[in-house]
Amino acid sequence: MCGIIGITGSKDAAPLILGGLKRLEYRGYDSAGIATIDGGKIQRVRAEGKLINLEKAITSNPIKGLTAIGHTRWATHGSPSETNAHPHATEKVAVVHNGIIENFRALRLELEGLGYSFCSRTDTEVVPMLVTHYLKEGLSPQDAVVMTLSRLHGAFALAFIFADIPGLVIGARNGPPLAVGYGKGEMFLGSDAIALAHLTSRIAYLEDGDWAELTPGGVTIRDAAGQVVARPIIESAYSGSMVAKDSYQHFMEKEIHEQPGVVGETLKMYINAVDLSINMSELPIFLRDVERVQLIACGTAYYAGLVGKYWLETVAKVPADADIASEYRYRAPLLDKKGLAVVISQSGETADTLAALRYARQAQPTLAVVNVPGSTMTREASAVLYTYAGPEIGVASTKAFTTQLATLACFSVAMGVARGVIDGTQRQELCKSLLEVPGLMSEILKLDRAMQALAHNLMHARDMLYIGRGTSFALAMEGALKMKEISYIHAEAYAAGELKHGPIALIDEDVPIIVLAPSDALFDKTASNLQEAAARGGKIILISDQKGIDAIGDVPNAVIKMPEAHPFITPLLYALPVQMLAYHTAVLKGTDVDQPRNLAKSVTVE
């Protein structure tokens, strides 16, 4: 949700900033821009739309300077035009911003009253105006920034450069993440470690309220009270090569195909393959006393949470519920001391999920299931279980989802063991089934061609339905989300048993219905719902194993044959065909698969 980057050093900064923006583009692609300091003046190039437009603009109008900031935008206030693109600047200061300045209207009125005139419709532009105002009053850049920060309400990560002090970059954080990167004779700021992966691996994350002064020689970080503080420097695991597409057409395609590997990695971290036990030493001892689990997340991560709810109830026999973070945080849910809040997030930064974590931790232990090391949730939760997906760049989540599932599956077994509700034999059976997942995923990926062929039947659909029961209902929801976010086809998921309570009215011969039905305990029930849909002319695509396919006969218009598997692991497997179907449908439709319209990957605003 907007990516920002800053550099001060001894090299021409604009090309380096562009390299960082390429890595940050997943956070927004409505516009992009760069500002440098050259000869005591702010130079700025901005362009509407994707980064490629900015690259073209810079090629025809190169800007020089050793100090620079850059921005890639996901529009919140003001349309995605060049005028609204960051950096916003006066002749004295240029600013890039991720987040929302909630009191910008009042500040704008005040500044207009003082004679300042605004060019854009953004909330951000009040920031350079305020800094300029304080600079004109005689404050130093540092003091002008501190004064400005004290006037802002909302969530922001900001980076500033100053016409009169080349070599100085100031960064400030209140909400969205901001990392400082350490180089030799150069220093960097970035929304995340990936942005700086081509520049350095030595990273320190600012805490909320921190602001940092960067010069080529180093950084001084101060907290909200103005005290100089040291934030730990970590070695980031991301390297430049890890964020390449390799031979794949899209990041999403690459990430789909990485799943056997990264799910295998995740399982390796949590399962001891020798004695088939769970190794989650990070988990505090209190687990056995937990009487209720609340899983909280947004988007795809929420669907992983829904699967987790089913697993926790059936495997660990603990009452569990899944909640959408933006609902949970404002519902004032009652917090039971014996409850455990589990937040799930690829980025570890999603604003609503983070707010939910902060709410829950007032009274409950919290556990974060997160992919990005060092992210805010990992620092604020009582315990962390990492997913080992590696950097996920495609906006539509794939491998982050299945590694979340792998982690939650192991967690459910660990909880079942801790609570004494599963014995050694059951534990071993569940762990063994999980270890079969990577191999089965590789088999399923061989269906890619068949999926591509099927996608031809879907690409002209206007509406689609996805149905399933139990964990397959959660997977149906994830499948429908994947389809709508990248192919723009309206897709809805229903619990198969709910079909007859309304959505069945939508069915005609133009509506494809994806039925997720592994041959498990609920198969016969879903099969009846499939028949009801087929009887009304619906075009059925059945995703099931040989047993299920045989049982249904020739009713479906198409089948996707999955390997037979232990019912515990089917959510991990059935994720793949719904991802592949969405991917190929989108490719055929020619949509922008990795950067679908209106979306962004890291949602750091409410």
Can 2 be counted among the known catalytic residues?
Answer: yes
Smaller CB separation from ligand G6P, 303 or 574: 303
Can 410 be counted among the known catalytic residues?
Answer: no
Smaller CB separation from ligand G6P, 541 or 593: 593
Binding of ligand G6P by 300 (CB under 6 A): yes
Q: For residues 59, 62, 64 and 66, what is the CA-based torsion angle, rounded to 10 degrees?
A: -30
Catalytic residue among 2, 298, 410, 431: 2
Q: Where are the beta strands (DSSP E) in 175-288?
A: 179-182, 187-190, 202-205, 211-215, 218-222, 228-229, 234-235, 271-272, 277-278
Helix, strand, coil % over all residues of the chain, rounded to 5: 40, 25, 35
Smaller CB separation from ligand G6P, 559 or 600: 600
Least separation, in Å, of the C-beta of 481 and ligand G6P?
8
Binding of ligand G6P by 599 (CB under 6 A): yes
In the block, tokens 């219905």 appear at 513
Q: How far is CA 148 from CA 104, 142, 152, 208, in A?
A: 12, 10, 7, 16
Q: Which of 158, 179, 203, 301 lies at the binding interface for ligand G6P (CB under 6 A)? A: 301
Part in contact with ligand G6P (CB under 6 A); list of ranges 192-200, 395-403, 462-470, 517-525: 395-403
Binding of ligand G6P by 346 (CB under 6 A): yes
Distance CA 337, CA 203 (A): 36
Distance CA 223, CA 212 (A): 9
Which residue's CB atom is positioned nearest to ligand G6P? Answer: 299
Part in contact with ligand G6P (CB under 6 A); list of ranges 57-65, 274-282, 340-348, 432-440: 340-348
Binding of ligand G6P by 483 (CB under 6 A): no
Q: Which of 262, 413, 601, 604 lies at the binding interface for ligand G6P (CB under 6 A)? A: 601
Q: Which of 252, 395, 440, 572 lies at the binding interface for ligand G6P (CB under 6 A)? A: 395
Catalytic residue among 22, 254, 482, 601: 601
Smaller CB separation from ligand G6P, 50 or 202: 50
Binding of ligand G6P by 299 (CB under 6 A): yes
Three-class SS string for 402-463?
HHHHHHHHHHHHHHHHHCCCCCHHHHHHHHHHHHCHHHHHHHHHCCHHHHHHHHHHHCCCCE
Least separation, in Å, of the C-beta of 76 and ligand G6P?
15
Angle between helices 126-136 and 141-151 in degrees, nearest 10: 130
Part in contact with ligand G6P (CB under 6 A); list of ranges 75-83, 108-116, 297-305, 567-575: 297-305
Binding of ligand G6P by 345 (CB under 6 A): yes
Query: Which residue, among 309, 329, 304, has the nearest Cα to 319 in the 3D structure?
Result: 309
Q: Which of 298, 318, 418, 576 lies at the binding interface for ligand G6P (CB under 6 A)? A: 298
- E strand or H helix that includes residue 377: helix 376-380
Q: Quick check: helix, strand or coil at residue 210?
A: coil
Q: Quick check: helix, strand or coil at residue 321?
A: strand
Please say whether the beta carbons of 433 and 413 come within 8 A.
no
Q: Which of 72, 236, 259, 347 lies at the binding interface for ligand G6P (CB under 6 A)? A: 347
Q: How far is CA 219 from the centre of its chain?
A: 29
Least separation, in Å, of the C-beta of 104 and ligand G6P?
24
Catalytic residue list: 2, 601
Binding site for ligand G6P (CB under 6 A): 298-301, 345-347, 350, 353, 395-397, 599, 601-603
